């Protein structure tokens, strides 16, 4: 399974959350750490994906896709 990064970004923006808000909620010191996750430069761990889903108010499964162009791998 892959993470739908475009959907995460869309849901974050619809919720009125900035990357800095997500970074703080995930324990990053700066927004850059979260930016790398959202852009697919770093793999999202299962724990991080669960937190992101909780923050965005959606089930984890809603953030996963089989194969899409703008996706990132989930790190176990």
In angstroms, the CA 17 to CA 70 distance is 20
Residue 46 sits in a domain of what CATH number? 1.10.260.40
pLDDT tens figures, 16-66: 999 999 999 999 999 999 999 999 999 999 999 999 999 999 999 999 987
- List the structure tokens of 73: 């791998």
CB 52 within 8 A of CB 41: no
Angle at 15 between CA 13 and CA 19, to 5 degrees: 50
**What is the number of structural domains in the chain?**
1
**Boundaries of domain holding 64:** 2-75
Q: What pLDDT does residue 1 have?
A: 79
**Taking 60 as the threshold, does the pLDDT of residue 69 lie above it?**
no
């Amino acid at each position: 399974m892959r993470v739908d990064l475009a959907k995460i970004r869309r849901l974050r923006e619809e919720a009125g959350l900035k990357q800095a808000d997500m970074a703080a909620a995930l324990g990053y010191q700066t927004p850059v750490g979260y930016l790398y996750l959202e852009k697919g430069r770093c793999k999202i761990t299962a724990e991080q994906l669960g937190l992101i889903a909780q923050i965005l108010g959606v089930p984890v499964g809603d953030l996963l896709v089989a194969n899409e162009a703008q996706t990132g791998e989930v790190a176990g």
